[in-house]
């Protein structure tokens, strides 16, 4: 079983705080790394698809980096807002095959 | 609207019965996936299929079966052999471009309860 680890498991921050999460994955047979946001009562939605070592992606206040050699990716949220409250999932693709998810980081942003 | 439809949203099953969860997509995606989520845990892969008439086991395939007779459909059967079937089930799909597989699109999920 491929292990995809996410930390922390949960995070509570105040509105306006910046925060970051970690996703660790096997560094061999890397194909792609995905980040998803999963809001309560909705379906997970993709944030980023990252494929190259050193990739940096940005969407508004959210950005992500990728290090395939050491097997980790960081997701950053700048100036957190209550609407950022969600579970953030990373998913690892290896050898162009299936996707394996981490357990997620549950973010709560307090007004 | 293009998307993935899972039905039903809630399902109750008596112990010992098989039950089939539906997943249909009209996105023309090649790959489809089934995941299971238990309280406090992440998504665990049950089965996936990258082309019609072919599918592969994930980490927790025991007690489940799937078919992929049509590109649009990937039903999951929870058999009586699945010892602890009560869970939330998510179906997803993705497609392949010249640069590889895209991100996944998800259904709304089915919550299965064994009574």
A44 vs B: CB within 8 A: yes
Q: Do B101 and A44 touch (CB under 8 A)?
A: no
Q: Are strands B110-114 and B10-13 parallel, antiparallel or unpaired?
A: parallel
Give the nearest partner residue to A101 out of B43, B48, B109, using CB atoms: B43
Ranges under pLDDT 50 in chain A: none
The whole-angstrom separation of Cα B87 and Cα A53 is 36
Q: What local confidence, expressed as pLDDT, does residue A96 receive? A: 63
Q: What is the mean pLDDT of chain B?
A: 92
Contact assessment for residue B44 and residue B60, using Cβ atoms and an 8 Å cutoff: yes
Q: What local confidence, expressed as pLDDT, does residue B41 receive? A: 83
Spatial neighbors of B32 by CB under 8 A, at least 6 apart, are B23, B25, B48, B49, B68, B74, B91, B92, B93
pLDDT at residue B1 is higher than 70: no
Q: Do B33 and A99 touch (CB under 8 A)?
A: yes
Please state whether A69 falls in left (phi above 0), alpha (psi between -120 and 50) or beta. alpha
């Amino acid at each position: 079983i491929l292990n995809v680890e996410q930390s922390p498991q949960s995070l509570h921050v105040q509105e306006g705080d910046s925060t970051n999460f970690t996703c660790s994955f096997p560094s061999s047979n890397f194909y792609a790394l995905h980040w998803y946001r999963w809001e309560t009562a909705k379906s997970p939605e993709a944030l980023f698809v990252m494929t190259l070592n050193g990739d940096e992606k940005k969407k508004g206040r959210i950005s992500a980096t990728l290090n395939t050699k050491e097997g980790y990716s960081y997701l950053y949220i700048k100036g957190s807002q209550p609407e950022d409250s969600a579970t953030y999932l990373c998913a690892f693709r290896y050898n162009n095959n299936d996707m394996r998810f981490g357990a997620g980081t549950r973010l709560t942003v307090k007004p | 609207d293009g998307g993935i439809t899972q039905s039903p949203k809630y399902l109750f099953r008596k112990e010992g019965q098989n039950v089939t969860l539906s997943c249909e997509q009209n996105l023309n995606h090649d790959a489809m996936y089934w995941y299971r989520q238990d309280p406090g845990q992440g998504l665990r892969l049950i089965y996936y299929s990258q082309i019609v008439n072919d599918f592969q086991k994930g980490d927790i395939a025991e007690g489940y079966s799937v078919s992929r007779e049509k590109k649009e459909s990937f039903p999951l059967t929870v058999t009586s052999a699945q010892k602890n079937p009560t869970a939330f089930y998510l179906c997803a799909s993705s497609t392949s471009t010249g640069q590889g597989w895209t991100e996944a699109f998800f259904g709304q999920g089915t919550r299965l309860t064994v009574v």
